[in-house]
Structure 1
Amino acid sequence: MRNLLASLVILTVPAHAAETVPVRTGSAAFGDWRTDAPGVVRLIRPGDLPAPFATPSASNGPQDAALPRNPEVHVPDGLTASLWAEGFTGPRTIRVAPNGDVFVAETDEGDIKVVRPTAGTEAAAPARVYAKGLDGPFGMAFYPPGDDPRWLYVATTDAVFRYPYRSGDLAEAKPERVLDLDISDGGHSTRDIAFSPDGRRMFVSIGSQSNDAEDLTAAPKAEVAQLPLGAAWGDETRRADVLSFDPEGHDRRIFATGIRNCVGLAVQPRDGGLFCATNERDGLGDNLPSDYVTRVREGGFYGWPWFFIGSHEDPRHRGERPDLAGKVTVPDVLFQAHSAPLTMSFYDPPAGAPAALGSAYAGQAFVAMHGSWNRAKRTGYKVVRAVMADGVPTGAYEDFATGFVGADGRVWGRPVGVAAMRDSSLLIGEDENGTIWRVTPKTGTR
């Protein structure tokens, strides 16, 4: 095994302290929650991945814990995290309306709640129910993009709805059903939604029906030839894909394929590029394959189920699609396997507003990691920053918010949502105890 020091490199990253920091690479990039701390930077490359089944496939779900008496979320020096809102049941996605109201999808409950920040206080006002009775609501997006939306779009497990919306609305109007997704039942159930900056395209992410297309039987070559590059068939038709529509739900297209479970979509403010936070497949060992964040290229194929992280062939599909070798788009930022990244958000303070976290965070991407059952030593359970330089991912990622696992290894917080408020403080939601945390500068540091 390589010496630890040999696995450290120096990389200039736009960190809060604007300094060069050591980056853990190679074997040093792999660890568990005990090695997590704000400021730790990892860079995993495709060549760092172990062979399939180098370790057994583990079943090690988190040991849940109640909210500690004095919970503490660790964030970088100069910042502090405080409990902002609580009492949610399984919160997932967080979206901030242009007027500052905070919308929270309680996916398992089938509700959407809205929280109005209370001026001059640390805590939020009590949440109000905006919509209820939905089938797994997850993705939310205001439309048209900009400061004066007229609709709130909501993606559920099998459809997309939109609610007439005016700035400040706290109760739903009668929704319209924009489209039925027309996909198989079961499997990954979350659907995220995002719009292109010009408002002409609506993107919807759909996870696979299975872990690794275990039951995907062969299809006639002529049929496969008619599909987009890397698209699957059978129960996986239009799954493990990002789909594109117009805002009315028409003009359905497959935008990108082979993305096992693109849980979180985000549009980069800098150039309008589409990004995705992805849960990769289980069952190949502790450190395989990497979860990731990536730019989503139109027509791109990201490997699932036949390949992963470039031309690494999945041994469970050996020899099935040799025609796809060399055609797999390598993701931009590789995370430790089984970190379970969920939603992501670009830190883009409103024009004229100060960057509360510090100007070096402007344009950076924050990713909430939920943690997984499929690793002997748990990882994830934190929020990380996918390091961007001039709008382009460097491949490195930095621990930003940690401490959701107690010293005894029990998990009291599983990050699920992340979003910037109008004052450019950062919200972090977790679904183990249904809380939302707010990251702000420490008093006297701005």
Structure 2
Amino acid sequence: MIRFAGLVGAVLLVATAAFAQQAAEPLLKGEAAFGDWHADRPGVRRLIRPEDLQAPFITESASNGPGVAQRPEEAKPILPPGFSAEMIASGIINPRVVRVAPNGDVFVANSNDNQIRLYRLAEGSARPAEKAIFANNLTRPYGIAFYPPGDNPQWVYIANSNGVVRFAYRNGDLKARGEPETIVDNIPRKNHWTRDIAFSPDGKTLYFSVGSYSNVGEEGMGKEPEGGLDAWMKSKPLGAAWGMEDGRADVLAFDPDGKNRRVVATGLRNCAGMTIQPATGALWCVVNERDSLGDNVPFEFATTIREGGFYGWPWYYIGNNEDPRRKGERPDLAGKAIVPDVLMQAHSAPLNIAFYDGKSFPPDYQGDAFVALHGSWNRGVRTGYKVVRLKFRDGKPTGEYEDFMTGFVVSDEAVWGRPVGVAVAKDGALIVTEDGSGTIWRVTYDAHRS
């Protein structure tokens, strides 16, 4: 890690400025929404539309990964008035997805250590009353799901980079019962390894996301599949890729026992996070779009996943915008790529999504969604590195999103935090993981603090 002189002062200065500018933030639209971390603060709102897309290559493709600064002991994320963050744990090498069991236990995928951690929090506190390693010897675990959905699960499903395993489970178990049972295997594990899982509300379908092998099919994917394009189109779902990308950039579905594999949707470069929207039962996905087309192209997105839907990759993006690197290869797919529901700044790297169905935040948060933005590397001035709130009205996205949790970036060169996981605790708090400093946070609201 990098230690920067004056880091504490920088963080506190940003926090003071943020709280001074909370009220009545204007809605940023079009190019005004293409800012960077300097403008980020709780309450900043953005609305990005498909027509706001710039042409590719207006700016050069940047390589601008962050240095990770050591987090000062007193540094905390910046939140809207009335909200506060308390640390649950620190010093974890790679905390990624976080999911909350029906009994309130917090499960965290520690991907680099190939384990699932468990935290049982003291009532009304971020202090762990108990903590344990729930499972070990996994393979870059990421997604976590409890089955069947509801208050009395019998299994914990874990998405490894190469498939899905499950452990017998009863509410309150601190450690896995016995050895893992393999449910799904033969999944390609290299590159874009973040495999998430979710169950349909009726428990009959296990959804499983598999990201692409390469950025835009440039590695191991020729212009046509073996046997010709016509034969491929007749035997595969709309927009299915081939070669090294066969079975990738997809959302797959299985029966809960791992049988009856099928493709739900294609053309999703890296659906790194999935969840079910409580109000509608719809499957939602947050997607890391492709790189190397410029600072603001294309937009990242969150979207419902439609059965049989094609979302563009690698030939098109954000609807009918053809990628110049695959120009003219698939005219048959023109006009067939679904336009996503919520567009976010390019290269923000959304990794997880959770709908707020708790009761402890203000009423207008009910039904909205939180998305963790891991942060850019392919942008001249960095963006992301925050948690944002997607706005919904009557169960439908407005397209607008708002900065909720910021303060992780300390300079143009360094960050101390990179948000990854978001989950709603049983008591209505928001649990957030970040893998820059390896911390887990509990976010609560108290009207008396606002």
| Greater mean alpha carbon deviation, residues 125-134 or residues 370-379 | 125-134
Pick one of 203, 210, 215 that aligns with 2:214.
Answer: 210
Partner residue, 1:4: none
Pick one of 70, 83, 86 that aligns with 2:90.
Answer: 86
Q: CA deviation at 1:408?
A: 6.0
Pick one of 81, 84, 90 that aligns with 1:77.
Answer: 81
Partner residue, 2:444: 440
Task: Supply the AA of the counterpart residue of 1:410.
Answer: A
User: C-alpha offsets along residues 116-160 of structure 1, whole Å, 9 cap, x if unaligned?
Assistant: 001254422463111111111000000000000000000101111
User: C-alpha offsets along residues 59-96 of structure 1, whole Å, 9 cap, x if unaligned?
Assistant: 00011100113202111112112222223221000000
| Greater mean alpha carbon deviation, residues 217-226 or residues 334-343 | 217-226
Partner residue, 1:252: 261
Q: How has the CA–CA distance of structure 1 residues 184 and 100 changed in structure 2, closer, same or farther, with 3 Å as cutoff?
A: closer
Q: Is the 8 A contact 1:184 1:235 kept in 2?
A: no
Pick one of 27, 33, 37 that aligns with 1:29.
Answer: 33
Partner residue, 1:315: 324
Which runs of structure 2 are paired with 1:234-245 in the superposition (5 Å)? 234-245=243-254
Partner residue, 1:193: 197
Partner residue, 1:5: none
| Greater mean alpha carbon deviation, residues 400-409 or residues 239-248 | 400-409
In the alignment, the residues of structure 2 paired with residue 24 and residue 442 of structure 1 have an alpha-carbon distance, to the nearest angstrom, of 28
SS of equivalent residue, structure 2 residue 232: helix
Partner residue, 2:19: none
In the alignment, the residues of structure 1 paired with residue 45 and residue 445 of structure 2 have an alpha-carbon distance, to the nearest angstrom, of 21
Q: CA deviation at 1:445?
A: 4.9
In the alignment, the residues of structure 2 paired with residue 58 and residue 123 of structure 1 have an alpha-carbon distance, to the nearest angstrom, of 41
Q: Determine whether 1:153 maps to 2:157.
A: yes
Task: Supply the AA of the counterpart residue of 1:342.
Answer: L
Pick one of 371, 385, 389 that aligns with 1:385.
Answer: 389
SS of equivalent residue, structure 1 residue 82: strand
Pick one of 329, 332, 335 that aligns with 1:326.
Answer: 335
Q: Is the 8 A contact 2:163 2:187 kept in 1?
A: no
Which runs of structure 2 are paired with 1:65-214 in the superposition (5 Å)? 65-119=69-123, 121-125=125-129, 127-214=131-218
In the alignment, the residues of structure 2 paired with residue 441 and residue 180 of structure 1 have an alpha-carbon distance, to the nearest angstrom, of 40
SS of equivalent residue, structure 1 residue 444: helix
Number of residue pairs matched by the alignment: 423
Q: CA deviation at 1:370?
A: 0.4
RMSD after superposition: 1.5
In the alignment, the residues of structure 1 paired with residue 337 and residue 185 of structure 2 have an alpha-carbon distance, to the nearest angstrom, of 26
Q: How has the CA–CA distance of structure 1 residues 120 and 358 changed in structure 2, closer, same or farther, with 3 Å as cutoff?
A: closer
In the alignment, the residues of structure 1 paired with residue 305 and residue 165 of structure 2 have an alpha-carbon distance, to the nearest angstrom, of 24
Pick one of 383, 404, 414 that aligns with 1:410.
Answer: 414
Partner residue, 2:12: none
Task: Supply the AA of the counterpart residue of 1:92.
Answer: R
Partner residue, 1:223: 232
Q: How has the CA–CA distance of structure 1 residues 175 and 194 changed in structure 2, closer, same or farther, with 3 Å as cutoff?
A: farther
In the alignment, the residues of structure 2 paired with residue 21 and residue 338 of structure 1 have an alpha-carbon distance, to the nearest angstrom, of 23
SS of equivalent residue, structure 1 residue 116: strand
SS of equivalent residue, structure 1 residue 87: coil
SS of equivalent residue, structure 2 residue 68: coil
Q: How has the CA–CA distance of structure 1 residues 185 and 100 changed in structure 2, closer, same or farther, with 3 Å as cutoff?
A: closer
Instruction: Give structure 2 stretches of 5+ with no counterpart.
Output: 1-22
Pick one of 43, 46, 51 that aligns with 1:39.
Answer: 43
Q: Give TM-score scaled by structure 1 length.
A: 0.92
SS of equivalent residue, structure 2 residue 177: coil
In the alignment, the residues of structure 2 paired with residue 392 and residue 413 of structure 1 have an alpha-carbon distance, to the nearest angstrom, of 31
Partner residue, 2:295: 286
Q: How has the CA–CA distance of structure 1 residues 183 and 271 changed in structure 2, closer, same or farther, with 3 Å as cutoff?
A: same
Instruction: Give structure 1 stretches of 5+ with no counterpart.
Output: 1-18, 350-354
Pick one of 346, 362, 365 that aligns with 1:361.
Answer: 365
In the alignment, the residues of structure 1 paired with residue 412 and residue 376 of structure 2 have an alpha-carbon distance, to the nearest angstrom, of 18
In the alignment, the residues of structure 1 paired with residue 232 and residue 415 of structure 2 have an alpha-carbon distance, to the nearest angstrom, of 47
In the alignment, the residues of structure 1 paired with residue 447 and residue 52 of structure 2 have an alpha-carbon distance, to the nearest angstrom, of 42
Q: CA deviation at 1:192?
A: 0.3
SS of equivalent residue, structure 2 residue 309: coil
In the alignment, the residues of structure 2 paired with residue 320 and residue 181 of structure 1 have an alpha-carbon distance, to the nearest angstrom, of 32
Task: Supply the AA of the counterpart residue of 1:303.
Answer: G
User: C-alpha offsets along residues 297-331 of structure 1, whole Å, 9 cap, x if unaligned?
Assistant: 11100000000000000000000000000001000
Q: Is the 8 A contact 1:184 1:236 kept in 2?
A: no
User: C-alpha offsets along residues 32-55 of structure 1, whole Å, 9 cap, x if unaligned?
Assistant: 111101111101111111111110
Which runs of structure 2 are paired with 1:255-270 in the superposition (5 Å)? 255-270=264-279
Q: Is the 8 A contact 2:121 2:130 kept in 1?
A: no
Pick one of 306, 310, 315 that aligns with 1:306.
Answer: 315
Q: Percent of pairs identical after alignment?
A: 54
Task: Supply the AA of the counterpart residue of 1:391.
Answer: G
In the alignment, the residues of structure 2 paired with residue 170 and residue 193 of structure 1 have an alpha-carbon distance, to the nearest angstrom, of 21
Task: Supply the AA of the counterpart residue of 1:177.
Answer: E
Q: Give TM-score scaled by structure 2 length.
A: 0.91
Partner residue, 1:233: 242
Q: How has the CA–CA distance of structure 1 residues 121 and 294 changed in structure 2, closer, same or farther, with 3 Å as cutoff?
A: closer
| Greater mean alpha carbon deviation, residues 224-233 or residues 160-169 | 224-233
Q: How has the CA–CA distance of structure 1 residues 121 and 306 changed in structure 2, closer, same or farther, with 3 Å as cutoff?
A: closer
In the alignment, the residues of structure 2 paired with residue 329 and residue 24 of structure 1 have an alpha-carbon distance, to the nearest angstrom, of 24
Q: CA deviation at 1:182?
A: 2.3
Partner residue, 2:345: 336
Partner residue, 1:9: none
Runs of 4+ in 1 over 4 A off after TM superposition: none
Q: How has the CA–CA distance of structure 1 residues 332 and 121 changed in structure 2, closer, same or farther, with 3 Å as cutoff?
A: closer
Which runs of structure 2 are paired with 1:2-17 in the superposition (5 Å)? none
SS of equivalent residue, structure 2 residue 448: coil
In the alignment, the residues of structure 1 paired with residue 183 and residue 140 of structure 2 have an alpha-carbon distance, to the nearest angstrom, of 15
Q: Is the 8 A contact 1:143 1:153 kept in 2?
A: yes
User: C-alpha offsets along residues 96-115 of structure 1, whole Å, 9 cap, x if unaligned?
Assistant: 00101000000111010000
In the alignment, the residues of structure 1 paired with residue 437 and residue 446 of structure 2 have an alpha-carbon distance, to the nearest angstrom, of 25
Q: Is the 8 A contact 1:78 1:441 kept in 2?
A: yes
